[in-house]
Structure 1
Amino acid sequence: MKDASYKRHIAKTITWRLVGTIDTIILSWIISGDPLIGLQIGIYEVITKMVLYFLHERVWFKVNLSKDGKILESRKRHIAKTITWRMVGTIDTMTLAWIVTGNPLTGFKIASVEVVTKMLLYYLHERTWYKINFGLPKRTNE
């Protein structure tokens, strides 16, 4: 089971990073007006976000949010994961955009817009993966 969960979390990390990087590149390009800045931020994020996302998945895999022995309902859990991931991701994006552009306001603008787009995309990603059995020995009702 341990090996399977790692494979699942690695696969989720890769698929989420593809979605997230495309979103970051497009938003950074629009806000900065420079497609190269969008690409630079996107490339740096591939590295930082893959590591951060994998760690986030491992923490949430070990978190037991049960009430009276019942596991927290999947939609509530996914909303909580969405919020915690977005906090981590927003700080990372803002920092990287600030470093790449040299302008903290540009970093703030990019991160602010991403809060909305990424939360929606992440929630949809979580719901999709909830329906996929890859890396699970059997489906558990969350």
Structure 2
Amino acid sequence: METRRRSLVKAVLWNVIGLVVMAVVGLIATGSAAVGGTLAVVNTVIGLVMYVIYERIWARIKWGRHA
């Protein structure tokens, strides 16, 4: 089982990558850096929260693990 801190660091790093990608996609799709950036930030916040919850749930599931 990994620590909560490790799960959080993994989630933050993954979401930084996602933030950059979403900002570029939003800019390309809308032509506006402000709209693209807003979409990226909202997506990142939602994704971060959901990822942490998802990881913590899976950390408690023993199925598929070997001792």
TM-score, normalising length from structure 2? 0.80
Structure-2 residue corresponding to 1:121 = 50
Q: Pick from 79, 97, 114 the counterpart of residue 8 of structure 2.
A: 79
Q: Find out whether 1:103 has 2:16 as its counterpart.
A: no
Amino acid at match of 1:99: I
**SS at 2:41's partner residue?**
helix
Percentage identity across paired residues of the two chains: 29
Pair 1:97–1:134, CA change in 2 (3 A):
farther
> Unaligned stretches of 5+ in structure 1?
1-72
Q: TM-score, normalised by structure 1?
A: 0.42
Which structure 2 residues correspond to residues 9-24 of structure 1 after superposition, within 5 A?
none
Distance 2:63 2:34 in 1: 41
5+ residue gaps, structure 2: none
